[in-house]
Structure 1
């Protein structure tokens, strides 16, 4: 085989390797994005369920006062406090 022919084959293989590495990066990026989205969905779901539980507990007047007292200490922004008339 000629050296030029081998050099061309090496160049082709290097280009193919470069393409495969780019494909791998794209796959990894998609998987990471999908995992991140799933974690965000699960976090949102947890917050909704905890909020639902708190609202249910607030039907009892004693629990309501206790929860609102805890919220009063926890919340720092006025717009959040207004939601609970604090």
Structure 2
């Protein structure tokens, strides 16, 4: 069996590095996706909890503050439709379009 030349060894090492880089990238991407899913799930659970409290305790300070915040920050008509407790907003020149 012929001995590998320095160029062959170098090429072999480069291929191994490329394979490792691809594996590292795949694991990194998988980890980022898992973190993003966990973050989304956390937000859904917290939002559901807040809305549940709003429905059951609509006169509490928290519920009033939540409605005020929703009214202030949920400005697109399409989004506001999701919150029947909010008044309709008439479009103005300074609001972003949907």
Query: 1:14 matched to which residue of 2?
Result: 10
Task: Find the counterpart in structure 1 of residue 59 from structure 2.
Answer: 62
* Structure 1 consecutive aligned stretches of length 4 or more whose deviation exceeds 4 Å: none
Instruction: Provide the TM-score with structure 1 as the length reference.
Output: 0.80
Q: Larger % of helix: which? A: 1
Kindly name which structure, 1 or 2, has the bigger radius of gyration based on alpha carbons. Answer: 1
**Higher relative contact order, structure no. (Cα contacts within 8 Å, ≥ 6 residues apart):** 2
Deviations 1:14-61 (A, max 9, x none): 110111111111111111111111111111111111112112211112
Query: 2:44 aligned with 1:48, yes or no?
Result: yes
- In structure 1, stretches of 5+ residues that fail to align are none
Match of 2:91 in 1: none
Q: Once structures 1 and 2 are overlaid, which stretch shifts more, 74-83 or 21-30? A: 74-83
Q: How many residues align?
A: 81
